[in-house]
Structure 1
Amino acid sequence: MDTSHLVRRCALASLLLATPLAGMAAAPATPLAASAAASMEGVASGARLQMRWELLRNEYTPQMPEGRAKARMTLTNNDSQRLPAKGWTLYFNSMDGVVPGAVTGNLRMEQVAGNLYRLRPQANFAGLAPGQSLDIDYYHPQVIIKMARAPIGPYLVYDAQPEVGVAISDFALLPVTRPEQLDKGDTGARPVVTAADTYRSNQRADLLPASAVPLVLPTPLQLTQGSGKLRLSGKPSVSAPAALAGEADLARSLFPASLQGSGPALRLSVGKVEGQSSPEAYSLTVRAGGGAGAGIAIVGNSPAGVAYGLQTLRDLLPLPGAADQSVPEVTIVDAPRFAYRGFMLDVSRNFHTKETVFKWLDLMARYKMNKFHFHLTEDEGWRLEIAGLPELTSIGAVRGHSAKPGVRLQPAYGSGPDPRDTGGSGYYTRAEYIEILRYAAARHIEVIPELEMPGHARAAVQAMEARYHRLKAAGDKDAAKYLLNDFADRSVYKSPQLYNDHVLNPGLESSFTFVQHVVDEVVKLHREAGAPLHTIHMGGDELPNGAWEQSPASRAMMAREHLQSTADLWDYFYERVDGMLRKHGLYTSGWEELAARKTTLHGKNKLIPNPRFTQKGFLAWVWNNTEGAEDLAYRLANAGYDIVLAPVTKMYMDMAHNANPEEPGVNWGDYVELETPYDFIPFDYLKNATEAARVGKDGLTDYGKRRVRGLEATLFTETVRDPARIDYLVMPRLLAVAERAWAPDPAWATEPDAAKAAALHRTAWSGFVNALGQRVLPRLDLDRTGVAYRIAPPGLLLDGDKVLVNHVLPGIALRYTVDGSTPTASSRRVTGPIAERGLIQVAAFDRNGRPGLVARIDRR
């Protein structure tokens, strides 16, 4: 886990592409940055510059009540050579942009494209001598609450070597602690969370004795505990038919090698689970004694049900190393509430390897999640090899600096100038994708690939444009066969990611040729893998207003098809896309915009269910439950659309846990603490909203309930450049989503009496967090899964002459110091109130001694 105030360092540009990454075609040769820098005598190297970023203050005026942020970049020349008065450009990314124009120091701020910006010296810039520093003050157009909005990935380019970018690796963000930095004006933004706030929040749960901690998560449908225990005298003897060979292997892997000799019988079979129609249902019995029924028996309605029974058995087993090697007698009958229990991983904003994907498929299987939504394409990266279109990966999967168009994508999200940066560049070969599909299928997980369109398509648009220019120069008459953009398009628009050149144009027949080819190739990959493919997620979100409106090609298409507006052109586009999928026996899936139509009501934008596709069998992932769209999911379901609930304010794992500036993640939707997805009520998620928020909002009809396929946790990776950050953002929040997706509504969710509901909630929440703290997360630690889940800071409350300490996960180890030093795994354990004086610092620790976030209180 990166420290709170430091941005991940970019790779030095001296490591330019010499050999291709695994699964990545080599980018065009580029001179080595070190050689280029050495050849430029008398100028400072970017590698020896230092840069610090500081939020000076948030500002509010009557003209800008929502505010803006004044910030400062401090550039220090640690080289022995001068940064000259002209002839250089400093590039960086800024997720939500900066205000362009003249800035202090006689420099000019300019947007290159999207979130890539640059600083250039103006006529009166004097240069920067060795040892000298320069303060560069400028503005962000919005208030800065989260550090995700700060610049990232700065690098220097000299005009004399325009193809060489050198990363400023000595770059850091200064802490945000002063009142003027934390000022949120009258915006209503949430305040920072103090240690006392955390303590009071943690008081909503009770510490339970081990005997009262729930045995299994997600909560099973029926669990009856017996009075005895089955002793594991040795490794169980597994019996299973050949069709359950994979499940038999899983069963054997659950038991440690230290168990010697013959143990109890473990019988696996497929059969009818009484009273349960779900193919994923199972029954599990554990019986002690020496009779015919002794041992462990798991019966599933399908092999998937058997596998889920084994995951439940894993929960029942003693923690590794426990003295008592026995399993409680139980009878469990279980089935999921929802058939769709999903996790989406974005590998396009920042790339992640197949090994990382394998890790999350294992975790999904462990917690009975069965749909892996694979976000493979975006503006900033195309991550899947497609036969016949090599530019999609040789250009669309590579980010780095280039002064020439069509070489690679520009840096984004701090990937820097080096095309070998593993966050910016990379893709899955066909063989790797097939390997992922088979790995998932063996765990009863369906992979749903996503191909983003018509917006969020910049990587594909640029790759196909480069292909066009290459083939046209070679005299190829089919150069435009897969072209995605109309060169005469003068439409004015801007995406939320600040692009104005990222949209696939439906006025070009070549766009449909491209989509058909990609769909055909994805189908082939699944067929070769022997993996199920029922749908392809075809994107559809965030097409910016204004797109296509000034495109001659789109206008001509509208005239030919008698379309009245670009909204009609949208429908036309997805009618044809739907036909491509139906040719392969697939149904069409996408984000909510696929099932919605843009219109206006009382002069304001509004999304309504699109009547055109209600009979098409579309499946829509509904993310937007903000700013008047709180009930959009229910309106779509009531109108006849099948939906997956993936609300940004409840289940987006890229949202920060809280408003503290150093807490990783973004906040454009909301903050998502552990309890946020736990408290989600799928069929009545407005129940706990304010009366004002419910006015005019639709509830879910009985008909609409039948249209809800399930739930999905979603991780976009703008701020996620390494696998440990995935762990931090997703776990343990994913476990709350798994609980909601598998288990029936808890009693508190349906209790109409508020006082009774609160008491029921306390009991249930206590059980959930105690299970996490005492059983579920310790098992992950002791199984050596390598999951660096977020360990929240403790709550601290000064009570007279002592400090009270608690944690969101009751039972987790808490350790403290009083001399201002950071607690370690050998520090004193918190066993009650802390009476000592000093700078008290407290942290929680996992079973392997890994510390969590530190809380502190000064009692000197």
Structure 2
Amino acid sequence: MRHHLFAGCVLALLAAPVAPTAAQTSTKQEAIHHQQASAAKLQLRWELERNLFSPQAPHGRSLAHLILTNHDSQPLPAQGWSLYFNCMDRLEPGPLPSKLVLEHIAGSLFRLHPGPGFEGVAPGQTLDIAYTYPGLVIKLSKAPVGPYLVYDAVPDVGVVIKDFALQPVTRPEQLDRGTSGAKPVVTPADTYRRNASADLLPPNEVPAVLPTPLRIEQQEGSLPIKAQPTITASAALKNEAALARSLFPQTLPPNGPKLQLSIGAVEGQTSPEAYRLTVRADSGIAIVGNSAAGVAHGLQTLRELLPLPGADELALKETTIVDAPRFGYRGLQLDVARNFHGKQTVFKWLDLMARYKLNKFHFHLTDDEGWRLEIAGLPELTSIGAVRGHAAGPGVRLQPAYGSGPDPENAAGSGYFTRADYIAILRYAQARHIEVIPEIEMPGHARAAVQAMEARYRRLKAAGRKDADKYLLNDLEDRSRYRSAQYFTDNVINPGLDSTFTFIDRVVGQVVAMHRDAGVPIKTIHMGGDELANGAWEQSPASLARMKKEKLEDTADLWDYFYERVDGILRRHGLATSGWEELAARKTKLAGRNRLIPNPRFTTRGFTAWVWNNTRGAEDFANRLANGGYDIVLAPVSSMYLDMAANPNPEEPGVNWNDYVELDTVYDFVPFDMLKHLPEAGRVGKDGLTDYGRRHVRGLEATLFTETVLDASRVDYMLMPRLLAVAERAWAPDPVWATEPDAARAAALRRTAWSGFVNALGQRVLPRLDLERGDVAYRIAPPGLMLDGDRVLVNHVLPGIQLRYTSDGSEPTVTSKLVTGPITEPGSIRVAAFDRKGRRGLVAGIDRAKTGKE
């Protein structure tokens, strides 16, 4: 459905503006003032009423309410206004019982407006706006966000409804999961049982280094450090020498033990990132790397070996470590398109990546909801494609998304990296031995670019420019009917237009130029490729003409044509082609059902495919691609998508379109056995990874898409500490439990390894992060609680973390009683973990007055 109110809908040729008269300006200002005053007096609450199951909807629907209360002295009128909001789920549009009409604008944007017979909302009156989701609402992320009011009299002004809140989801009818068997919430007892899979270790048994080195030997001797180490390093290791100096307290006097950094052969290790670290009481510290990157990794290991800041004595055990990574690709993808995250956030995560030996930064710069990189000669990409907010007419900015609201200055919705910003990021990453892989999404997920380039076309055409369509990305006569995974119907770049490839060449050329000017090599650009909606291009005259000219049978062939052209552009710029798994896939049918197969057309092109889809039925697709000769990066949604919520509790942040990803979900991932989690019957007909296929697995990547991530603290919460498990899996070899065929022995080995990992996090790695940085607001999980007779048993996923409790139902604070064993006090017990800075984690509660219940 298309609407005239938003730039996110149809771009139309705008008439030349006429300067308003003074009277008109005064009238408009009065209308704006009235609108602001009216919105300020509106209260809005969202409530999930219940989940509904029927033969027609066996998997369930949800009935919800927006409860609007007018606290103004004036009525909300019967006509002439609209209430906009974003919602990440489909809603059932149409007339509602409240006599309002619910419309889907595009993507996640919806509009409520008065319908026939609506009588307005009188002062003091409350309006119950009931509506329906066609599926179940499990997470609060499915609730509306960013509501704002627009009056028809001032259609270009949207005013945020600030008094807006979500009601908790706790009642049985809200948590009903029908006959699915799904557990609606994770209880404190569930958490206790899950946490019980690890043991608390004494400090001397906690692993000394994470990620786990190939070989580590520690002796009884020690090297005291009572003065700043004396660093020797070549000019080629200037950055590493600076890192080395930063590891030690600056208050120490000079002339301490030797710390020698050098590049040389690490015996038995061919990886350029290999290193050898030795600590000797008589000769000091020496780090040799196969390259500067290896030396940098050795220094991060040295950091891990140091006592925590504030320790009584600064000394290092005598140690020998020989280490090298399992995979050459150890990545993190950060999405800055859905919600913008600026340069300082990127710098922070590049620092943290280097600390934990991750070396590939996948920079998701463009998507439907934002284009975040300045491209010389195409200013609309950022003046329109990087700005979200309300607009009365088209071609002004993108529509609000993910709660960014009507204000184009909203920091989550609007923003981009200037050319200088991007160059600074490249240099910052290079100094930390991290490769930046920019991603330019296409042909789907491209709405921001499509909108921006159509606005450019309209502007230049109105000015009489004959080359107005030089960079146009959409066929204006396209009548294809499709709906993307994010509910867009106009987000696709058209391969029938020559201007599409002119645009791609321009963007690629400018990205390459920025890397050249930064002095930072570029090997590839990630060219997207995921989630092209079925039906795209099918009724586009330009695409049909292209198919006829090139003798292509269907749109699957047109897809191949598109990426052959894209690959040609990249090759001309000296780059290899990479993208999501669909780039290496071919759509076909088996027994009438859609199926993806490795695309035989590109196996010799050197494409690299990031494989995300291991959902039900596609668990082995990564194996099939690698076995078929494609280089792949494993980024499976089931264990590496860190935008997934940790559990189904409604208030737990994140999405759940696939499943839930806890810390142990990531830890238990076995890269060369993608089917390990399946029961034996589930493996039937699935392809395992061949020896040949193993050679094509380049590594692992954690991904953070940011639909629910509006600020830097939420980035921290979603990534950490789960990213540490990604780092462990990407760097260290398979743990012995992963390949042990005996189930009982494998379980015992896994318990030992898992205990070491979580004790290292709880007792050493995260405390060091607290004390050295203090700016990483990682998720502190709730404790597990279990009633055991007349006492409450308490544990935590991170053994050794500080736990405090109250027994009067109040929230624990840093001065509350420490948990030192089972809690025997009666009352309403509330427990939380605290980091070394006193920051409280999620609270768990159990009521001793209701014996046996939680």
**2:149 maps to 1:156:** yes
Kindly provide the amino acid, as one letter, of the partner of residue 645 in structure 1. L
Please give the alpha-carbon distance, in whole angstroms, between the structure 2 residues aligned to 1:83 and 1:837.
Answer: 51
Name 1:499's counterpart in structure 2.
Answer: 488
**2:228 maps to 1:239:** no
Name 2:449's counterpart in structure 1.
Answer: 460
Name 2:688's counterpart in structure 1.
Answer: 699
Kindly provide the amino acid, as one letter, of the partner of residue 63 in structure 1. Q
Name 1:306's counterpart in structure 2.
Answer: 295
**2:460 maps to 1:475:** no
Show the 5 A alignment for 1:369-518. 369-518=358-507
For the structure 1 residues 815 and 33, does the alpha-carbon distance in structure 2 shift closer, same or farther, using more than 3 Å as the test? farther
Q: Deviations over 1:262-310 (max 9, x none)?
A: 3211000000000000000000000013xxxx10000000000000000
CA apart distance, 1:63: 1.1
- Determine which of 807, 813, 818 is the counterpart of 1:829: 818
Please give the alpha-carbon distance, in whole angstroms, between the structure 1 residues aligned to 2:187 and 2:291.
Answer: 49
Please give the alpha-carbon distance, in whole angstroms, between the structure 2 residues aligned to 1:146 and 1:573.
Answer: 38
Please give the alpha-carbon distance, in whole angstroms, between the structure 1 residues aligned to 2:318 and 2:781.
Answer: 34
Kindly provide the amino acid, as one letter, of the partner of residue 342 in structure 1. G
Kindly provide the amino acid, as one letter, of the partner of residue 327 in structure 1. L
**2:715 maps to 1:726:** yes
CA apart distance, 1:244: 0.2
Please give the alpha-carbon distance, in whole angstroms, between the structure 1 residues aligned to 2:32 and 2:507.
Answer: 45
Please give the alpha-carbon distance, in whole angstroms, between the structure 1 residues aligned to 2:588 and 2:439.
Answer: 26
Name 2:663's counterpart in structure 1.
Answer: 674
- Determine which of 739, 755, 765 is the counterpart of 2:728: 739
- Determine which of 91, 95, 114 is the counterpart of 1:98: 91
> Would you say the 8 A contact 1:58–1:182 is kept in 2?
yes
Please give the alpha-carbon distance, in whole angstroms, between the structure 1 residues aligned to 2:183 and 2:564.
Answer: 43
CA apart distance, 1:32: 11
Kindly provide the amino acid, as one letter, of the partner of residue 53 in structure 1. W
Please give the alpha-carbon distance, in whole angstroms, between the structure 2 residues aligned to 1:466 and 1:813.
Answer: 56
Please give the alpha-carbon distance, in whole angstroms, between the structure 2 residues aligned to 1:805 and 1:161.
Answer: 57
- Determine which of 604, 629, 634 is the counterpart of 1:640: 629
Give the stretch that moved more between structures: 710-719 or 54-63.
54-63
For the structure 1 residues 319 and 507, does the alpha-carbon distance in structure 2 shift closer, same or farther, using more than 3 Å as the test? same
For the structure 1 residues 565 and 318, does the alpha-carbon distance in structure 2 shift closer, same or farther, using more than 3 Å as the test? same
CA apart distance, 1:691: 1.7
What is the TM-score when the length of structure 2 is the normalising length? 0.96
**2:74 maps to 1:74:** no
For the structure 1 residues 436 and 127, does the alpha-carbon distance in structure 2 shift closer, same or farther, using more than 3 Å as the test? same
**2:813 maps to 1:820:** no
For the structure 1 residues 722 and 628, does the alpha-carbon distance in structure 2 shift closer, same or farther, using more than 3 Å as the test? same
Please give the alpha-carbon distance, in whole angstroms, between the structure 2 residues aligned to 1:47 and 1:408.
Answer: 25
For the structure 1 residues 212 and 88, does the alpha-carbon distance in structure 2 shift closer, same or farther, using more than 3 Å as the test? same
Please give the alpha-carbon distance, in whole angstroms, between the structure 1 residues aligned to 2:578 and 2:410.
Answer: 32
Please give the alpha-carbon distance, in whole angstroms, between the structure 2 residues aligned to 1:29 and 1:459.
Answer: 30
For the structure 1 residues 217 and 487, does the alpha-carbon distance in structure 2 shift closer, same or farther, using more than 3 Å as the test? same
Name 1:273's counterpart in structure 2.
Answer: 266
Q: Deviations over 1:540-573 (max 9, x none)?
A: 0000000000000000000000000000000000
**2:679 maps to 1:686:** no
Show the 5 A alignment for 1:551-562. 551-562=540-551
Name 1:358's counterpart in structure 2.
Answer: 347
CA apart distance, 1:38: 5.6
Q: Is there any run of 5+ residues in structure 1 with no aligned partner, and where?
A: 1-27
> Would you say the 8 A contact 2:230–2:254 is kept in 1?
no
- Determine which of 296, 317, 322 is the counterpart of 1:328: 317
Please give the alpha-carbon distance, in whole angstroms, between the structure 2 residues aligned to 1:589 and 1:42.
Answer: 49
Name 1:621's counterpart in structure 2.
Answer: 610
Show the 5 A alignment for 1:10-21. none
**2:765 maps to 1:772:** no
Q: Deviations over 1:627-674 (max 9, x none)?
A: 210000000000000000000011000000001000000000110000
Please give the alpha-carbon distance, in whole angstroms, between the structure 2 residues aligned to 1:108 and 1:691.
Answer: 51
Kindly provide the amino acid, as one letter, of the partner of residue 796 in structure 1. L
> Would you say the 8 A contact 2:450–2:474 is kept in 1?
yes
Q: Deviations over 1:801-860 (max 9, x none)?
A: 000000000000000001111001111100000000111100000000000000000123
Kindly provide the amino acid, as one letter, of the partner of residue 600 in structure 1. K
> The residue matched to 2:642 in structure 1 has which SS?
coil
CA apart distance, 1:35: 7.6
> The residue matched to 2:770 in structure 1 has which SS?
helix
Name 1:809's counterpart in structure 2.
Answer: 798
- The CA RMSD measured in Å over matched residues stands at 1.6
Name 2:698's counterpart in structure 1.
Answer: 709
**2:127 maps to 1:138:** no
Q: Deviations over 1:99-122 (max 9, x none)?
A: 101112110100111111000101
Kindly provide the amino acid, as one letter, of the partner of residue 751 in structure 2. R
Name 1:219's counterpart in structure 2.
Answer: 212
Please give the alpha-carbon distance, in whole angstroms, between the structure 1 residues aligned to 2:820 and 2:32.
Answer: 63
**2:192 maps to 1:199:** yes
CA apart distance, 1:531: 1.1
Name 1:119's counterpart in structure 2.
Answer: 112
- Determine which of 327, 332, 342 is the counterpart of 1:338: 327
Name 1:56's counterpart in structure 2.
Answer: 49
**2:169 maps to 1:176:** yes
Kindly provide the amino acid, as one letter, of the partner of residue 69 in structure 1. S
Please give the alpha-carbon distance, in whole angstroms, between the structure 2 residues aligned to 1:826 and 1:690.
Answer: 47
> Would you say the 8 A contact 1:33–1:164 is kept in 2?
no
For the structure 1 residues 32 and 584, does the alpha-carbon distance in structure 2 shift closer, same or farther, using more than 3 Å as the test? farther
What is the TM-score when the length of structure 1 is the normalising length? 0.95
**2:76 maps to 1:83:** yes
CA apart distance, 1:685: 2.3
> Would you say the 8 A contact 1:409–1:459 is kept in 2?
yes
> Would you say the 8 A contact 1:108–1:119 is kept in 2?
yes
Please give the alpha-carbon distance, in whole angstroms, between the structure 1 residues aligned to 2:391 and 2:681.
Answer: 52
For the structure 1 residues 33 and 521, does the alpha-carbon distance in structure 2 shift closer, same or farther, using more than 3 Å as the test? farther
Please give the alpha-carbon distance, in whole angstroms, between the structure 1 residues aligned to 2:398 and 2:687.
Answer: 43
Please give the alpha-carbon distance, in whole angstroms, between the structure 1 residues aligned to 2:653 and 2:32.
Answer: 40
For the structure 1 residues 193 and 182, does the alpha-carbon distance in structure 2 shift closer, same or farther, using more than 3 Å as the test? same
Percent identical: 72
> Would you say the 8 A contact 2:169–2:650 is kept in 1?
yes
Q: Deviations over 1:499-525 (max 9, x none)?
A: 000000000000000001000000000
Please give the alpha-carbon distance, in whole angstroms, between the structure 2 residues aligned to 1:433 and 1:509.
Answer: 28
Kindly provide the amino acid, as one letter, of the partner of residue 839 in structure 1. S
Please give the alpha-carbon distance, in whole angstroms, between the structure 1 residues aligned to 2:725 and 2:34.
Answer: 58
CA apart distance, 1:343: 0.1
CA apart distance, 1:37: 6.0
> Would you say the 8 A contact 2:774–2:837 is kept in 1?
no
> The residue matched to 2:212 in structure 1 has which SS?
coil
CA apart distance, 1:163: 0.2
Kindly provide the amino acid, as one letter, of the partner of residue 409 in structure 2. R
Q: Is there any run of 5+ residues in structure 2 with no aligned partner, and where?
A: 1-17, 850-854
Give the stretch that moved more between structures: 85-94 or 97-106.
97-106
Please give the alpha-carbon distance, in whole angstroms, between the structure 2 residues aligned to 1:468 and 1:314.
Answer: 55
**2:530 maps to 1:541:** yes
Kindly provide the amino acid, as one letter, of the partner of residue 449 in structure 1. P
CA apart distance, 1:488: 0.7
- Determine which of 513, 522, 543 is the counterpart of 1:524: 513
CA apart distance, 1:33: 13
Name 1:612's counterpart in structure 2.
Answer: 601
Please give the alpha-carbon distance, in whole angstroms, between the structure 1 residues aligned to 2:734 and 2:687.
Answer: 20
Give the stretch that moved more between structures: 550-559 or 255-264.
255-264
Kindly provide the amino acid, as one letter, of the partner of residue 805 in structure 1. V
Kindly provide the amino acid, as one letter, of the partner of residue 61 in structure 2. R
